[in-house]
């Protein structure tokens, strides 16, 4: 993913409920992929990390995949 996924798809607000999108940015262990790998802009990467953390808290995404 070289281009910013969110600006390419015209997503202005990254929602914690949208787990199908958030899952794309997790590695097989359930960790958040690095900025380098995602190619997302710095601003969106911060928002993405927050959204993933909210989704984890409410039980939609795992903290770790064993």
Partner 1 sequence: MSDAENKDNIEAKEETEANSKVYEFGYLLVPTIAQDDAPINYGNLKELVSSFGGEVISDEMPKMINLAYSISKVTSNVRSKFTTAYFGWIKFTMSPAKVLELKKSLDLDPKIIRFLLLKTVKENTIAAKRFARGETYKRPIMKKSAENETAVPINKEEIDKEIDALVAV
**3-state SS, residue 2:** coil
Q: Considering only residues 39 through 58, tell me which ones interact with partner 1, judged by CB under 8 A.
A: 54, 56-58
Interface with partner 1, residue 2, by CB under 8 A: no
Query: Residue 49: which of 41, 3, 7 has the closest Cα?
Result: 41
**3-state SS, residue 32:** strand
Binding residue for partner 1 (CB under 8 A) from 13, 28, 36, 42? 13
Q: Give yes or no for a contact between 5 and 24, defined as CB atoms under 8 angstroms apart.
A: yes
Interface with partner 1, residue 62, by CB under 8 A: yes
Binding residue for partner 1 (CB under 8 A) from 1, 3, 7, 17? 17
């Amino acid at each position: 993913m070289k281009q910013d996924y969110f600006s390419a798809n015209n997503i202005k607000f990254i929602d914690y409920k949208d787990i199908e999108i958030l899952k794309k940015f997790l590695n097989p262990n359930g960790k958040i992929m690095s900025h380098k790998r995602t190619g997302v802009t710095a601003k969106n990467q911060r928002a993405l990390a927050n959204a993933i953390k909210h989704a984890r808290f409410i039980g939609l995404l795992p903290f770790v995949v064993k």
